[in-house]
Amino acid sequence: MRMHRCAEIGCRELIKPGWTYCQPHYEARMKKYVHAKQATRYIHILIKEGVRYMAKMTRCRYVSPAGVRCHRLAETPNHYCEMHIEHEAEYQAKRKEWNVKHTSQYYHKYNKTQRVRNDIKREQDKFYRNKQWKNGLRPAVLERDNYLCQYCKANGRMTPGKIVDHIIPYEFDPSKRDDLSNLATICAACHTGKTRWEQEYYGTGAGNELKNVAAVPDIKYLPDFMDSAKTQ
């Protein structure tokens, strides 16, 4: 008769086809199953009778100024233990503020007041949504650059990137929007640093005025944006 091993880790017992576990491990598993089922049934009885059982617990979110976390248990829905419960109100206020900012109404307002705040930004938004950019320019640049950040490469690093950036910002010179020589792959960290640098040098971004400065078309003459992103 063909036999196979018990499915229990570490068990080498041979068993008949149609069985998953040997007799000792089958009985042990059934015992655990019955015990868990009885415990669940008991909890349901307590709930039905209105008896309060142990609440769900979570770790306290408090972090000391020295960076040491509190490992005491907090009873949900609170996020802080009894010792640090005074921080609960501040945390809930921050969560409420975050939730308000991340609603569809917030993004709709952002798109109306920031993304399409003037004619240039409106045209820029349309450009990034059209097929020429999505199916043509963007994938062509990523393939050309082998999905490597060209700003990191200019500083001796090999960093993966999947964002395509205008070396001379679209907002500063819209005529170079579809010029392949003005497009380069960039990583997220360099993109953050470059955006800040553009706001200072070119005057791009909301609330700024474009400056009458010379455009910098070559990556090798630009600063190391990875460093500037880390220092912010």
Contact between 73 and 59 (Cβ < 8 Å) = yes
Verify cis geometry, omega within 30 degrees of 0, for the bond prior to 77: yes
pTM of the full structure: 0.53
List the pLDDT tens digit at each of the 232 positions of the chain: 688 888 888 888 888 888 888 989 999 888 888 888 777 776 666 666 655 555 678 889 999 888 888 888 888 889 999 999 999 999 999 998 888 777 777 777 777 667 677 788 888 888 988 999 999 999 999 999 999 999 999 999 999 999 999 999 998 999 999 999 999 999 999 999 999 999 999 998 877 888 999 999 999 989 888 765 454 5
Q: How far is it, in rounded angstroms, from Cα 180 to Cα 201?
A: 23
User: Sign (positive/negative) of CA torsion 74, 75, 80, 84?
Assistant: negative
Q: In the chain, where are the structural domains located?
A: 4-48, 57-93, 130-231
Among 62, 69, 87, 88, residue whose Cα is nearest residue 77:
88
